[in-house]
Amino acid sequence: MIRFENVSKALGGRMVLDGVDFTIERGETFVIVGTSGAGKSVTLKHMVRLMTPDEGHVHVGDETVSDAAGHRLERLRERFGYLFQGGALLAWLSVLENVALPLREKTDLGESEIVRRAEDVLRRVGLERDGHKRPSEISGGMQKRAGLARAIVRQPEIVLYDEPTSGLDPVTSRTIDDLIENLRRDLGVTGVVVTHDLHSALAIGSRIAMLHGGKIVELAAPDRFIRSERPEVRAFLDSQYITRRGAWERSLSS
């Protein structure tokens, strides 16, 4: 569904992506992990052409994103929902108005239908009682859930999640993980998750890719990922106290 073809990108003279190749299948949750500055968010931004590769191409279905412009890019982007790290909610609109915004601006739906759909997705993310509040009046976790509601309100085929659980407490992180998993299971949404949080990655990922030094050094399903012999992967797993025989292995096998 999404295909990176020998994509390279340099920022500030540093090679952030160096000939990256991978394919994301329809209906899977593809998780990209790596240390800070490894190029995870840069990879995500290439999928919606917020960034353009120096070399190579990014394809979504039969379309090439990396050279799309104008109405073609607009149509391509309508296939995506994007959850930004900070939620990226418009401060002067209420949570409900933020969620309803894509429907108001990009569809011909009537006002009552728009409100009904916005309330539906707010209920799905557990914010049905907070629709009237401004983004500044809700917590960081609630902002992320509101951002997620806005990302899915137009029922996109693909949702990109940029650090969906960073800075959140474990309970809220679990709620977000459940939401991502439910979207995949119930609606068949293809998800691409960028995260540092390996616990989350192992819980929701169909496959996990690790970016290191501008290259994908490991790409495997979670059960194989934690058994990887790659030193970069082992160091990353060890840093989060995940071992081959740790709790993760037991929970995955059960």
Partner 1 sequence: MITREPEYFPPPAGLLGRMGRWAMLSCRETGRATLLLLKALVCLRHIFGRRARRETVVDMYAYGIRSLGVITIVAVFTGMVLALNTGIALRDFNQEANVGTAVMVSMLREMGPFMTGLILAACVGSAMAAQLGTMTVSEEVAALEIMSIDPVRFLVMPRLAAMAVMTPLLSFYTCIMGVMGGGVVANLLLSVSWPNYMDNALRFAKNKDLFVGMLKAVVFGILITTVACHEGFSASKGAVGVGLATRKAVIVSFLLILFFGLLITGLFYY
| Closer CB to partner 1, 125 or 203, in the complex | 125
Subset of residues 152 to 171 that bind partner 1, contact rule: CB under 8 A? none
| Closer CB to partner 1, 108 or 229, in the complex | 108
Is position 12 an interface residue for partner 1 (rule: CB under 8 A)? yes
Subset of residues 65 to 84 that bind partner 1, contact rule: CB under 8 A? 74-75, 77-78, 80, 82, 84
For residue 129, the minimal CB distance to partner 1 (Å) is: 24
Is position 110 an interface residue for partner 1 (rule: CB under 8 A)? no
CB 58 within 8 A of CB 2: yes
Is position 107 an interface residue for partner 1 (rule: CB under 8 A)? no
- Work out which of 86, 109, 206, 249 binds partner 1, going by CB under 8 A: 86
| Closer CB to partner 1, 160 or 226, in the complex | 160
- Work out which of 35, 64, 85, 172 binds partner 1, going by CB under 8 A: 85
For residue 208, the minimal CB distance to partner 1 (Å) is: 24
- Work out which of 88, 109, 219, 221 binds partner 1, going by CB under 8 A: 88
Is position 220 an interface residue for partner 1 (rule: CB under 8 A)? no
**Closest to 69 in 3D by CA, of 48, 83, 90:** 48
Is position 90 an interface residue for partner 1 (rule: CB under 8 A)? yes
SS (H, E, C) the chain: CEEEEEEEEEECCEEEEEEEEEEECCCCEEEEECCCCCCHHHHHHHHCCCCCCCEEEEEECCEEHHHCCHHHHHHHHCCEEEECCCCCCCCCCCHHHHHHHHHHHHCCCCHHHHHHHHHHHHHHCCCCCCCCCCHHHCCHHHHHHHHHHHHHCCCCCEEEEECCCCCCCHHHHHHHHHHHHHHHHHHCCEEEEEECCHHHHHHHCCEEEEEECCEEEEEECHHHHCCCCCHHHHHHHHHCCCCCCCHHHHHHHC
Give the number of residues in contact with partner 1, rule: CB under 8 A: 27
- Work out which of 32, 60, 89, 142 binds partner 1, going by CB under 8 A: 89
| Closer CB to partner 1, 67 or 238, in the complex | 67
- Work out which of 52, 64, 172, 206 binds partner 1, going by CB under 8 A: 52
Give me the residues that bind partner 1 (CB under 8 A), please. 11-13, 48-52, 74-75, 77-78, 80, 82, 84-86, 88-91, 101-102, 104-106, 150
